Structure 1
Amino acid sequence: MRVPSRSPGHQPGPPAASTAPARRRPPAGPSRRSPSPGPDLTAYRAAVAELLVEVGALATAPSTAARQVLIDARLREPAIAAVLDATPQGFVGARETLLLEMARYQPNERSSAADLTALVRIYLLSRIDVMWWRDAPTYLTDAQVNASPELVDLEWLRRRDLLRFRYQEQPATLLGRGVRALRRRLRPDATPRTAGLLFRRARREMVAFLNDVAREFAASTPAGTPPLWVTSLVRSAEHQYRLRRLGYAAMVPSGHCLGWAVDVELAWYERFGVRETLGGLLLARQQAGEVNVVDEGQAWHLCLAPGARRRLRRAYEAEMGI
């Protein structure tokens, strides 16, 4: 919106004489406009939902050509194209990546993409993450994650009772993996079935966000309900590609590799009757513009919105007494 001029504009009749000394006016600068609100994410999610219905109807192998024509046409719709064009890859790169992911897709028990429709949903909705954080640096290697001053050690915080959520680390040795397997056989439902965190590090804002969600979840569920369980936090691009080689639906680029995404367990809470409660809390935060939510089946992927960063950084500092 153009800022209204403060001058009265042209007035009829001869100009009035002035006894004040003449002053040189500064040169007119560029007009100020309100910042662009960005793509309409509500329209984007609705358009993606409609696309998924059509992809599901063309999920069989003989429909490959028709499916590609559908994707080509639907991605060009303004609501979808606006988001894809705002990602680091741009519209063309995002489109080509999706088509390549679909061509390479092979279902397996490790992948959160149970079918082709799930793959398209995970890819398209996760593009909101990389659009939001397109200027954030990527953690390229494991060493960068471990050395980053922007990340804090979760174990240090846990030992001081400063975390309201739970997680488990990946076993580092063959003995550790054997002990983990034995525990799962003896108590198969005691914890979520997840490999655990390779990196027990997170951004301070993400710690504050997870603590906040964990408190809300605890207040909304019966006594004895297990706390919020985190299955994945920051990852390096190096690790992301390792996951892809193992068959996981690890998208590239990813909010995990920027440090702004997290996965939380959902399916395990079904046995406690509170899965819908947790899902509702997370969707309410998406509705409020705080996060982007991607349903990945067993776990839900969450990415923090840039607009929530300052508030959560202040919340972290208040919690930690900084």
Structure 2
Amino acid sequence: MRVPSRSPGPRPGPAVTSAAPGRRLPSSAGRRPDPTAPDLAAYRTAVAELLVEVGALADAPSTTARQVLLDQRLREPAIAAVLDATPQGLIGARETLLLEMARPRPAARGSAPDLTALVGVYLLSRIDLMWWRDTPTFLTDHQVDSSIDLVDLEWLRRRGLLAFRYQEQPATLAGRGLRAVRRRLLPHTTPRTAGLRFRRTRREVVALLNDIGREFALATPPACPPLWVTSLARSAEHQHRLRRLGYAAMLPSGHCLGWAADLELAWFRRFGARDALADLLLARQEAGEINVVDEGQYWHVCLAPAARRRFRRAYEAEMGV
């Protein structure tokens, strides 16, 4: 699993810059850092180092050794500072992670096909919860479908107001059959994803995805498809549904707060655009705009609170609100 982080120090190759003309990402250089806020760069570096050690203990007989390792490493200041700032706190986050590692899954599906990936996805996604710890969780499907804090993408799509694509989950058996036939006949025209269960998200996330979509379009050849979104807001009820199917759907999750989305990455390798999208997302993470979690086929992104006001204004300007 590739850990999406930018540790301090020089790296080979050219620096990543935005392809959008006239667009400047927020820079931390002119901003006073909050002395009480955890150091996210140090956290991501510490997580990357921990994953190397977890990978070395991935075999089943190493269960006790893994637990001892986690007990030691999660208490290190760089990691503990973030976990302690989440709603669960350090102890709760540790216990949840150990339970996730011990939980039998019927199939290695989705974002965490192995133990190392699961630990990485869990720990990096805790940044979302630290940022939005005061946001209520969408507990049920009905809450997602009826919340006034979320907007329906279909209304925006029909009016040409989206710079990205998505597809919904088929609602009927006939629809699923038609989707299967289409994939068999045209296997590479769309990503191999189930589609959106909920086509709703926060207004600020719409503006963020539109901004990423426009920058991605400028950075890729004309024949490359637009940015593809595979998941948006979800309910805790739906997370439990996914877990029963064998997916590593974390609880709590930034999706259940409405501030997260998943973006297809692997499919764009066919068009030579996968790395361009990855670099674009990592540059935004480095600028403090989003949190990024590499989940393999797709990457999880969560809007940072510091960027909320800017993207709310962008949404209102784009939609003429």
Please report the TM-score for the alignment, with normalisation by the length of structure 1. Answer: 0.88
- Alignment partner of 1:265 is 2:264: yes
- Provide Cα deviations, 1:50-70, integer angstroms capped at 9, x if missing partner: 100000000001111111111
Contact 1:208 1:312 in 2 (8 A): yes
Contact 1:266 1:279 in 2 (8 A): yes
Q: How far off is 1:36 after superposition?
A: 4.3
Residue aligning to 2:218: 219
Rounded to whole Å, the distance in 2 between the matches of 1:94 and 1:60 is 23
Residue aligning to 2:121: 122
Sequence identity (%): 77
Rounded to whole Å, the distance in 2 between the matches of 1:190 and 1:242 is 28
Rounded to whole Å, the distance in 1 between the matches of 2:106 and 2:222 is 38
Residue aligning to 1:202: 201
- Alignment partner of 1:135 is 2:140: no
Larger RCO (CA under 8 A, 6+ residues apart): 2
Q: How far off is 1:111 after superposition?
A: 2.8
Letter in 2 for 1:229: W
Rounded to whole Å, the distance in 2 between the matches of 1:109 and 1:85 is 30
Contact 1:208 1:315 in 2 (8 A): yes
- Alignment partner of 1:245 is 2:244: yes
Residues 105 and 83 (structure 1), Cα distance of their counterparts in 2 relative to 1, 3 Å cut: farther
Please report the TM-score for the alignment, with normalisation by the length of structure 2. Answer: 0.88
Residue aligning to 1:27: none
- Provide Cα deviations, 1:60-97, integer angstroms capped at 9, x if missing partner: 01111111111100001000001110000011100000
Residue aligning to 1:74: 73
Rounded to whole Å, the distance in 2 between the matches of 1:72 and 1:216 is 42
Residue aligning to 2:10: none
Residue aligning to 2:192: 193
Rounded to whole Å, the distance in 1 between the matches of 2:106 and 2:59 is 13
Letter in 2 for 1:191: T
Contact 1:107 1:113 in 2 (8 A): no
Residue aligning to 2:164: 165
Rounded to whole Å, the distance in 1 between the matches of 2:190 and 2:176 is 15
Contact 2:108 2:114 in 1 (8 A): no
Residues 307 and 227 (structure 1), Cα distance of their counterparts in 2 relative to 1, 3 Å cut: same
Residue aligning to 2:174: 175
Letter in 2 for 1:225: C
Unaligned runs of 5+ in 1: 1-33
Rounded to whole Å, the distance in 1 between the matches of 2:283 and 2:137 is 29
Secondary structure, counterpart of 1:108 in structure 2 = coil
Aligned pairs (5 A) from 1:1-322: 36-106=35-105, 108-322=107-321
Rounded to whole Å, the distance in 2 between the matches of 1:128 and 1:38 is 12
Residues 317 and 132 (structure 1), Cα distance of their counterparts in 2 relative to 1, 3 Å cut: same
Rounded to whole Å, the distance in 2 between the matches of 1:107 and 1:277 is 34
Rounded to whole Å, the distance in 1 between the matches of 2:289 and 2:34 is 19
Secondary structure, counterpart of 2:249 in structure 1 = coil
Residues 37 and 290 (structure 1), Cα distance of their counterparts in 2 relative to 1, 3 Å cut: farther
Q: How far off is 1:184 after superposition?
A: 0.4
Pairwise CA RMSD:
1.1
Letter in 2 for 1:263: D
Residues 244 and 106 (structure 1), Cα distance of their counterparts in 2 relative to 1, 3 Å cut: closer
Q: How far off is 1:305 after superposition?
A: 0.3
Contact 1:107 1:115 in 2 (8 A): no
Q: How far off is 1:249 after superposition?
A: 0.8
Secondary structure, counterpart of 1:199 in structure 2 = coil
The count of corresponding residues between Structure 1 and Structure 2 is 289
Contact 1:295 1:301 in 2 (8 A): yes
Rounded to whole Å, the distance in 2 between the matches of 1:267 and 1:130 is 26
Contact 1:285 1:291 in 2 (8 A): yes
Rounded to whole Å, the distance in 1 between the matches of 2:199 and 2:179 is 18
Rounded to whole Å, the distance in 2 between the matches of 1:267 and 1:65 is 35
Contact 2:106 2:245 in 1 (8 A): no
Q: How far off is 1:105 after superposition?
A: 4.6
Q: How far off is 1:109 after superposition?
A: 4.3
Letter in 2 for 1:281: L
Rounded to whole Å, the distance in 2 between the matches of 1:274 and 1:85 is 38
Unaligned runs of 5+ in 2: 1-32
Secondary structure, counterpart of 2:165 in structure 1 = coil
- Deviating above 3 A after TM superposition, structure 1's stretches of 4 or more consecutive aligned residues are 34-37
Residue aligning to 1:5: none
Contact 1:44 1:83 in 2 (8 A): yes
Between structure 1 and structure 2, the one with the greater Rg is 1
Rounded to whole Å, the distance in 2 between the matches of 1:35 and 1:112 is 32
